[in-house]
Amino acid sequence: EVLSSLEEMCGTGAVVDALKTYVDAAAKSKKPAKKKEKEAKKKPAPAKKGKFKEKPPKAPKIDKKLPENVNEMFKNEKKYAEYDDEGIPTKLVKGDKPVSDKEQAGMRKKREAAAKKIEDQKAAHEKYDADLKAWEQRKAEAEGGEPPAPGGDSGPEPAAVLSPQEFFSQGSNEGKYGGFDDGGKPTTDGKGKELKPKDLKKVEAQFAQQQEKYAEYQKALAAWKAGGAPATADDAEPGDQEQGPPPDPVPPPELSFKQPEHEALYSEWNDEGLPTHDAKKKKLSKKAQDEVTAQMAANRKKYESYLAAMETYHTPAVQAIPEKTRAQVAKKAADAAVPRCIECLLVREGERIAQSVNAGAEDPPELANV
């Protein structure tokens, strides 16, 4: 009866707070059970030396004609004046005329083909790296040497990539913009003038693209730095691995088009958060509706990835605690929290009875008639 009233009368905050306190303390003070020293000191017997005749895998060819960024592949041609979010030309310099739908369709096919080749080339290089490491391990074992440690041969450090916040203030963008919002996105040009809606839209696309590049760089850098790290979570101590900064916050999909950078572009939204009218309160065209719908789907995926990243952000330290220790601290948390909840219940019930008595609700019939 007491436990069934906890959520209604006291809430579960006391239990959660106590549990968090004990788990945090255990994560700092407790260590996983170490392996026996004899097992830790055991080393595999050296293999007999011999000749290794297997040839190393061939490195895949690099197509130097492929663009580094498919969104920039048509921007070197001087005959175009404007482009859409995917880098497809929309307006000609000569005569200020729009690019025909047929020509745009052709360029879109070229862009898709280039994007596929880039993905295939990337997959081929990843396979080559994996095959080369496996070959090096077989070679070391055959020749009687020490096989390379997992992650030990990490190669050269990945080329640095600017964060989205730095991207618009350095390199080719240095001096191009004057004002920025809290997230680092430009709001004014170099002369202090507010960016036009179409320019804000381009900035948004560039920011998202740079965010993806920077995330890939962070992953590659973490993998490069992981050379010599414990092979599994069971071998790692809770304090051995430092967690990096938390993932950059991502707004929920229904709020993604209501962020400051979109306020100048739209004036009305539907129940799902999709824009329905532009800044001039005109209904969006069919093409514009398709674009925001596609962007909403992309925003939803980003938000789901962000939630997943936040769920696992603090997971390694907790998982490193042995199950026995976790059970013990959970019991201590309950022992500490339940008495607090019961005390809260008793105080509230006493207050209720006192109010009832003072109001005469508890008086016997003979007293009630007085």
- Per-residue pLDDT tens for 48-71? 555 777 888 888 887 877 887 888
**pLDDT grade, residue 283 (50/70/90)?**
very high
Task: Name 268's bridge partners.
Answer: 277
CA neighbours closer than 13 Å in the CB half-sphere of residue 23: 18
Q: CA 100, CA 81: separation in Å to the nearest integer?
A: 14
74, two tokens: 């048509």
Q: Residue 151 pLDDT > 60, yes or no? A: no
Q: What percent of the chain has pLDDT over 90?
A: 4
Q: CA 362, CA 370: separation in Å to the nearest integer?
A: 14
**pLDDT grade, residue 33 (50/70/90)?**
very low
Highest mean pLDDT among 152-161, 228-237, 264-273: 264-273
Is the C-alpha dihedral spanning 157, 160, 161, 163 positive or negative? Answer: positive
By CB atoms closer than 10 A (0-12, 13-18, 19+), residue 292 is buried
190, two tokens: 């170099």
Q: Residue 310 pLDDT > 80, yes or no? A: no
pLDDT tens per residue, range 182-202: 778 888 888 888 888 888 888
**pLDDT grade, residue 285 (50/70/90)?**
very high
Pairing mode, strands 177-180 and 186-189? antiparallel
**pLDDT grade, residue 309 (50/70/90)?**
confident
Q: Tell me the pLDDT of the chain averaged across its residues.
A: 75
- Indicate whether this model's pTM tops 0.75: no
CA neighbours closer than 13 Å in the CB half-sphere of residue 153: 12
140, two tokens: 């070391």
